[in-house]
Amino acid sequence: MQKRISLTPDSTRCSTCMLNSFCLPIGMPPTQVQKLDEVVQERIRLRKGDALFRQGEEARAIYGIRSGSVKTQVEDARGQVQVTGFLLPGEIVGMDGYLNNTQVTHALALEDSEVCVARIEDMERITRLVPELRQQLRRLTNEEFKRTHQLVRSLGLLTAEQRVAAFLLNMSQRLAALGYSSTEFVLRMSREEIGNYLGLTLETVSRLFSRFARENLIRVQQRRVQLLDLPALRELSGTDCG
C-alpha cells in the first residue's frame, strides 16, 4: 500500500537532492531550482509490487524516482501484459500520462521504493515562470519516445542474443551514471520480466544467461550479474545500447 509523506522544511528538496542533476535541466540557476521546491511537496513510499498508478487512471502527477526501481507495463483487453520499461533512481515515471492526461501504463514497484510527486497543475504553473523547466519536460518527452522506439527496434531487428546483451549493457550504463558499478549489479526484475520486455520467452533468457556465463562474458549468481567482458558484449549487441 502506498504511504504518502508530506515534506517539511527540513526534508531534502530538489535544490539539495543528490539526484537533481538527473531530474533537472543542466545549468539551471539555483534560484529557479528552488522554485521546484514549491512543486514537490510530498513523496510516496511503495512496497515491492505496489502500484504507483494504473493504466486508464487520470494523470495527476509525474514522479521522480528517489530510491528503488519501477517497471511500467501495458495490459490489453484480454489481460495480455507487455513490459515497456524499467526505471531507476533519477528517472521520471508518468510522462506518457502527462502527455495524454490519462495513464497509458501500469507502474509497479520492483522493490521497496520512494518517489517524489510533482503534480501536473503545479508543474504547469511553474513552467510559465521557469522556461528551462519547459525545455526539460520536452527533453523527457523525447526520451519517452526514444525509449519506445528502442523497444520496437529491439523487438523487430535484433536477434535474441543481441537483445539480451544490449539489455545488460544498457543497465550497466545507466547504473554507472548513478555512481554504481558498471560491471556488477543486482537485477531487480525477474528473468520472466526481462523476457517479456525483450519479446523473448523465459526459457530463452535463461538459456542465453547460461550461455554467456559459459563463454565468460558474464558471471551470474541468482539476480546478481557481473559483466566480465564489456567489449565482447558490445560487439555481440550490435547497438549503442543507449
Is residue 223 domain-shared with residue 195, that is, in the same domain? Answer: yes
Residues 187 and 126 in one domain: no
- Asked if the structure places residue 50 within a domain, the reply is yes
Boundaries of domain holding 221: 159-237
Specify the pTM.
0.85
Confidence of residue 241 (pLDDT cuts 50, 70, 90): low
Q: What is the pLDDT of residue 235?
A: 94
Question: What region, left, alpha or beta, does residue 225 occupy, with left being phi > 0 and alpha being psi -120 to 50 degrees?
Answer: beta
Q: What's 229's domain CATH number?
A: 1.10.10.10
CATH number at residue 22: 2.60.120.10
pLDDT tens for 197-232 read 999 999 999 999 999 999 999 999 999 999 999 999
Total tally of structural domains belonging to the chain: 2
Please compute the mean of the pLDDT values over residues 179-198 and round it to a whole number: 95
Whether 150 and 165 map to the same domain: the answer is no
Residues 50 and 107 in one domain: yes
pLDDT at 223: 94
Cα–chain center distance at 195: 17
Residue 137 sits in the same domain as residue 194:
no
pLDDT band at 151 (very low <50, low <70, confident <90, very high): low
Q: Which residue has the higher pLDDT, 25 or 64?
A: 64
Four-point Cα dihedral 158, 80, 192, 98, nearest 10: 80
Residues 6 or more apart whose CB falls under 8 angstroms from that of 121 comprise: none
- Both 100 and 216 in a single domain? no
Distance CA 2, CA 148 (A): 28
Co-location of 106 and 150 in the same domain = yes
* End-to-end Cα distance, the chain: 33
